[in-house]
Amino acid sequence: MRDSSPIEAAVGIEYYVSETDGTGGRLRDRPEDFRVDERESFGADLRDLDADVGSYPHLVFRATLRRWDTNDFASALSKRLGVSRERVSWAGTKDKHAITTQLFSIKYGDNELPSVDGAEIEPLGRAGRPVLFGDLAGNEFEVIVRDAERPENAERIADELRRFGADDGDASDGAAVPNYFGQQRFGSMRSITHRVGLDVVRGDWESAAVRYVCESSEREPERTQAARTRLAEEREWADANELLPGGLRFERAIAGRLAEGATGPEDYRAALETLPTNLQRMFTNAAQSYAFNRMLSERLRRGLPFGQPVVGDVVCFADDDGLPDPGRSQTVETSQLETIRRHCKRGRAFVTAPLVGTGTEFGTGEPAEIAWSVLADLGLERGDFDRPGEFGSEGTRRAIRVETDLVVELDPLTLRFSLPNGSYATVLAREFLKGDPGNLA
């Protein structure tokens, strides 16, 4: 086990599980260096394109995007059509520094969609419900590492990850890493999403809104940093449109609402509610993710296993797709330990940690102690997640380890692997590069 960078530690990612020096290099030098293809799992009845629009109002389509963030593409498409962006939905969020193939739907009566630069759109059919976030089994990745300084280290790192994926310490066919939430969950350029989320669940709406608009990062352009600092000092929200670059439209939206008057918590909350609903949810989700990352780091520090449970762990059993089903969970007692370990070894059960919410189960023993200690350090209780609208969460559970079949090729250094929905390619790639997290963005 090896310490991570301070930047990663700031979002709860405190360790590498591989000891070998990194290859160095960088990701996403060009869009084709980072390819993502969704493994779709749309469970609704998909009818032909000529199906009755009244019964099947949602047009389902697949889009291959180049240099498009998912939210930005949805906004651009809805604007071209003259409809609300809320009519567009998707299975998984991707960022723009890649070529991605994704599943979308739009509540729209026509089957013809306008062309959008950098997007290849393929209508698939009509459905009675939209594509929902999570309507995919996982993602297939092809990642090229440019300018690797020590590419010869890649196979040794892969072997260490295969040992982490084995129950008995010997190398296995599959590699594994802790199922951390990656840096981009918290903001690659400005890692504050979880800090805003912590403000939200603590009920400090003013701090949340002001932080999102005003807190800067040294990775941002100097002009942007200066603009945020000035707004923080002067609180002249009407100046935001002039001061902030045009690309910061969400900050502008919040500032625009604050400019109408901000005299109490309800005004600051209303300002946050000007954002799309998925971004509102993202704040609380990021706070949950940060706490989860810290729990995994503490488990690593204590030397507890990831592929096998200890007494007090909560395991989730596999669904029909072989993925963890948070709705089927069980706290492991001493009398059940060996049986459940066999289930985990066969991929029928998974050790989990909480994404804390109002209804989250913490288990018992040392795993529960870890969860409670992280929550206490953050000054939170489960009831703090009882917030209005999109800001509240009942919580759930997430597997603490993710496994994959990994193929490593050289010249250029290329990583091919698949991950289940919700797991981050950069969490595996960081084990290889072991450098500036900015080189993963």
Q: What is the pLDDT of residues 223-240, one digit of tens each?
A: 999 999 999 999 999 999
Q: Where is 356: in which H helix or E strand?
A: none
> Residue 174: what pLDDT?
81
> Residue 354: what pLDDT?
97
| Domain finish residue from 275, 296, 331 | 275
CA dihedral 117, 119, 124, 125 (to 10 degrees): -40
**Taking 60 as the threshold, does the pLDDT of residue 391 lie above it?**
yes
Same domain, 296 and 382: yes
> Residue 172: what pLDDT?
55
| Domain finish residue from 249, 275, 301 | 275
Same domain, 125 and 85: yes
Q: How far apart are CA 412 and CA 181, in angstroms?
A: 27
> Residue 41: what pLDDT?
87
Cβ contacts of 337 within 8 Å, gap of 6 or more: 309, 310, 311
How many domains would you assign to the chain? Answer: 4
Residue 186 resides in a domain: no
Q: Which CATH number do you get for residue 230? A: 1.10.1510.30
Same domain, 16 and 144: yes
- The answer to whether residues 36 and 141 touch, using CB atoms and an 8 Å cutoff, is yes
Same domain, 238 and 262: yes
Q: Which of 24, 34, 25, 37 is nearest to 143 (CA)?
A: 34
Six-digit token string for 59? 């047009």
Residue 188 resides in a domain: no
Six-digit token string for 189? 């350029």
Residue 321 resides in a domain: yes
- Amino acid at residue number 277: T
**Taking 70 as the threshold, does the pLDDT of residue 167 lie above it?**
no
Same domain, 211 and 75: no
Q: How far apart are CA 299 and CA 178, in angstroms?
A: 10
Same domain, 234 and 382: no
Same domain, 205 and 167: no
Phi, psi of 46 (to 5 degrees): -105, 115
Model pTM? 0.89
> Residue 289: what pLDDT?
98
Q: Indicate if 167 belongs to the active site.
A: no
Could you tell me which residue, 338 or 278, shows the higher pLDDT? 338
The residue assigned the tokens 């070529």 is: 99
Residue 187 resides in a domain: no
Calculate the average pLDDT of the chain. Answer: 94
Q: Which of 85, 95, 114, 119 is nearest to 28 (CA)?
A: 95
> Residue 92: what pLDDT?
87
Nearest-5° angle of CA 308, CA 292, CA 343? Answer: 20
Same domain, 113 and 175: no
> Residue 284: what pLDDT?
97
Residue 87 resides in a domain: yes
**Taking 90 as the threshold, does the pLDDT of residue 196 lie above it?**
yes
Q: How far apart are CA 289 and CA 291, in angstroms?
A: 5
**Taking 90 as the threshold, does the pLDDT of residue 382 lie above it?**
yes
| Residue 21, domain extent | 2-32+138-179+403-440
Same domain, 167 and 287: no
**Taking 70 as the threshold, does the pLDDT of residue 269 lie above it?**
yes
- List pLDDT tens digits, range 401-414: 999 999 999 989 99
Residue 184 resides in a domain: no
Same domain, 199 and 211: yes
Q: Which CATH number do you get for residue 369? A: 3.30.2350.20
> Residue 163: what pLDDT?
94
**Taking 80 as the threshold, does the pLDDT of residue 286 lie above it?**
yes
Residue 379 resides in a domain: yes
Same domain, 228 and 334: no
Average pLDDT over residues 157-176: 79
Q: How far apart are CA 419 and CA 421, in angstroms?
A: 7
**Taking 70 as the threshold, does the pLDDT of residue 169 lie above it?**
no
| Domain finish residue from 250, 275, 300 | 275
Q: Which CATH number do you get for residue 119? A: 3.30.70.3160
Q: Where is 142: in which H helix or E strand?
A: strand 136-145
Same domain, 408 and 369: no
**Strand ranges for 249-323 from DSSP E:** 314-318
> Residue 173: what pLDDT?
60
SS3 content of the chain, % helix, strand, coil (to 5): 40, 25, 40
Band the pLDDT of 214: cuts 50, 70, 90.
very high
Catalytic pick from 33, 37, 95, 405? 95
> Residue 439: what pLDDT?
77
Average pLDDT over residues 385-404: 96
- List pLDDT tens digits, range 106-135: 999 999 999 999 999 999 999 999 999 888
Q: Which of 247, 239, 240 is nearest to 221 (CA)?
A: 247
